[in-house]
Structure 1
Amino acid sequence: MPARSPRSSTIGPRLSLQAPRGLEWRAEPQLLDGEHREAEHYERTVFDGAELGGITLQECLLEGVSLNDTELRGARFIECSFEDLFAPVFRASRSSWRETALHSTRWGSAELYDSRLDGVHLDGGKLDYVNLRGARLTDVLVSGCIIGELDLSGVTATRVALRDCTVGTLTLDGARLKDVDLRSSSFRGIHGLDGLRGATIDDQQLQLLAPFLAESMGLRVEG
């Protein structure tokens, strides 16, 4: 059954994530672009600068892995778990994420534009800039994260929740939202207010948005 917030008709993300089990530990793994790897455990491994475009990881666990400037364009992650993922530059445009959890992520710039996220939980961590332009998000929960800039321009988002997050700038130009819950998170600024249609906010957030809404409508407010 979909999770519902108290006294709300907003439908929350439908998640049924399970930690990968029965994994083979890879001491010195080597990955190649386009490979399909399954049920493997990578720990404290460095893939910085590697060309891994189109790779598929299924039911894998990655702990303390560094993926700085790794080419992951078109990669697929299925029923995986990432812990302490590190990447000052994370390059994974047009990637696919399904039934996957990410804990304590540290990203500087994350290129995830034109990607697809289905059943994903991003929990905790610090992310400077997340580019999800044109992405499709379904059943996605982002919780306890500090995000400098979150760019959701042109996204199609269904049953998405930002819970207890601190976001500097949220950009929503051309976004199409349905059952997107922004309550309990804070934002310093929001661009593309028209893109908020379909989102749920709380009373306090509405008060903070009032000046931006007035400006976007050309209203002059005088006491």
Structure 2
Amino acid sequence: MAGTARRAAGGTAMTGGPAGRAVVRAARRPEVRLPRLEEYDGRGLERDGDYDGLDFRDTGLAGQDGAGARFMDCALTGCALDGTSLRRARLLDSVLTGVRGVGTDLAEATLRDVEVRDARLGGTQLHGAVLERVLIRGGKIDFLNLRRARLKDVVFEGCVLVEPDFGGARLERVEFVDCAVRQADLSAAVLVDVDLRGAAPLELARGVDRLSGAVISPAQLLDLAPVLAAELGLRVLA
């Protein structure tokens, strides 16, 4: 199967700051160009399976065990992922469109050069995972568990994140563009060149003290003022 021809977009742009002074490095977005795909035969996922150049279309993968599997140059479209185990799986140069499910297990998985479009997911487990050059565009993800994950060159665009958990994670060159972030947990997280200016609303349940290394807008600063005051033990009286 011919390999995917691609190159990462961006990565060198600097945004913000007076007189062109850089304040945050832009994330490098994936550019996935899939080769001609073969239709998946539907025999069911296998642990440590190898899936190369396959088209999973409207496939019911709920409850299946694909732990440790490798997906290379694949398209997953309209697939049901309820309770699917993909722990320690590797998703490389692939596109997931309209996937849906509750309790999908991607703990300690690797996602590299991946696009996730219009997903409807709940309780997805990505703790300890590695995400590099990943675009999550559109859709809604509830209770996303990214504890102790490593995110580098990741873009959340036009999506809704409800109570995402970034506890203990490392985020480097991560952007939030035209998306809603509700009650996020940043406890013990490390942020480097994280651009939060496109998040509206931006709500933090915990970890406001970890915002060093992030960029927010003046309006967001005003919105976060009560949380920041509480963190500092500052009383604000009329």
Using the size of structure 2 for normalisation, the TM-score is 0.90
Is contact 1:29-1:42 (8 Å) kept? no
Displacement, 1:6? 4.6
Q: Distance in 2 between matches of 1:81 and 1:218?
A: 46
The match for 1:175 among 189, 194, 200 is 189
State the partner residue of 1:214: 229
- Deviation of 1:29 after TM superposition, in Å, equals 4.1
Letter in 1 for 2:37: L
Equivalent in the alignment of 2:163: 149
Structure 2 gaps of 5+ residues are 1-10
Contact (CA 8 Å) 1:19, 1:81: kept in 2 or not?
no
Q: CA RMSD in A?
A: 1.3
For 1:12, the equivalent position in structure 2 comes to 26
* Structure 1 residue aligned with 2:74: 60
User: Hey, what does 1:138 align to over in structure 2?
Assistant: 152
**Distance apart, 1:2 and its partner CA:** 1.9
Q: Residue type of the partner of 1:202?
A: S
Identity of aligned residues (%): 31
Distance, in Å, in 1 between the alignment partners of 2:108 and 2:202 is: 27
CA contact (8 A) 2:74 2:93 kept: yes
Is the 2:16–2:24 Cα contact (8 Å) retained in structure 1?
no
Which runs of no fewer than 5 residues in structure 1 stay unpaired? none
For the pair 1:78 / 2:92, whether they are aligned, the reply is yes
**Equivalent residue number for residue 8 of structure 2:** none
**TM-score, length-normalised on structure 1?**
0.96
Q: Using the alignment, how far apart are the partners of 2:42 and 2:105 within structure 1?
A: 22
C-alpha distance in structure 2 between counterparts of 1:20 and 1:29, whole Å: 22
- CA drift of 1:27 comes to 4.5
Q: Structure 2: which amino acid aligns with 1:24? A: E
State the secondary structure of the residue aligned to 1:45.
coil
Measure, in 2, the Cα distance between the counterparts of 1:20 and 1:109. Answer: 29
Give the whole-Å Cα distance in 2 for the aligned partners of 1:3 and 1:101: 21
SS at match of 1:79: strand
Q: Does 1:23 align with 2:37?
A: yes
* Equivalent-residue separation in structure 2 for 1:118 and 1:168 (angstroms): 23
- Structure 1's consecutive aligned runs of 4 or more residues displaced over 4 angstroms after TM superposition are none
Deviates more, 1:144-153 or 1:182-191: 182-191
